[in-house]
Amino acid sequence: MRAIICTKYGSPDVLKLQEVEKPAPKDRELLVKVYATTVTSGDCRVRTFKSPPLLWLPMRLALGLRKPRNPILGVELAGKVEAVGKRVTRFKKGDRVYALSGMRFGAHAEYVCLPEDGAVALMPAHATYEEAAAVPFGATTALHFFRKAHIRSGQSVLIYGASGAVGTSAVQLAKYFGAEVTGVCSTANMPLVKSLGADRVVDYTKEDFAGRGERYDIVLDAVGKGSKAQCKQALKPNGTYVTVDGQGIAKVRGEDLAFLKELVESGSLHPVIDRRYPLEQVPEAHRYVEKGRKKGNVVITVDRDNRI
């Protein structure tokens, strides 16, 4: 099968399209033919191996010393079950599924094996493979941090970085939970964030959101680049500040994807796709994501004959 291999840590040039052995599912695994995946900021961080000094050694031990232990990156995907292990009961051949492989990686390939009890679920009805692949990472991350902050109807929520993969999902999820939402983004992305349901949008290039005098029950830094002091300044006395930077990896279950499936089907959650690239252009996708200006998700179309 074709796969993008991360041959060592470094620039996007270390990513190579190669023929590798097709995996075989274990007793409780699914073999999924991947039709679409994404390139996330997390993929770029793994490829460059940018880590805080105190985490450098444990992260290298976890990921691999000179190159990623699993050289096929990619953490989210949508595709069709091609085969199942002999003890699999929840899925069958032919099921359209979407999934988050997490630290197992492996999505930047034509096939991947996933545990049936992992973060995998049936795809939202009527969604394309590309749309489904753009849901798991951003939406489960936003969901994790809103649960951590105990989001409730009637609260005021500020989302810093509202136009990225996590931010676009966070705006929509906060509205679903009944919150009043303020999104913070650049001038160019204000129409997008407003279209997703934000009640107010602040242009961070022109205005200090913390200096506006408004205070929020929850402040979510969805890109991990906001000033901690600035974010906390915008909180109400008993407000909660959460950030994707350094607060651990969200634990995702198949039930979370089943919940998000319902939201997509009901129209409460719309995946935002900025650009699409074929599998062989994953290095170009990395270069674009590294610029830090993407709107929502960058999708990789693995099988261009099966987009729907």
Q: What pLDDT, in 10s, does the model give residues 275-295?
A: 999 999 999 999 999 998 899
- Give the pLDDT score at 180: 98
**Average pLDDT along the chain:** 92
The CA angle 191-196-200, to the nearest 5 degrees, is 65
Sorted by where each begins, the domain ranges of the chain are 2-135+271-301, 138-243
The CATH class given to the 2-135+271-301 domain equals: alpha beta
Q: Contact, 271 vs 142, CB < 8 A?
A: no
d(CA 46, CA 6): 10
- Give the pLDDT score at 112: 98
- The three-class DSSP label of residue 244 is coil
Confidence of residue 212 (pLDDT cuts 50, 70, 90): confident
Domain 138-243 has CATH 3.40.50.920: no
Fill in the amino acid letter for 37.
Answer: T
- The answer, yes or no, to whether residue 18 has pLDDT greater than 90, is yes
Residue that wins the pLDDT comparison between 244 and 250: 244
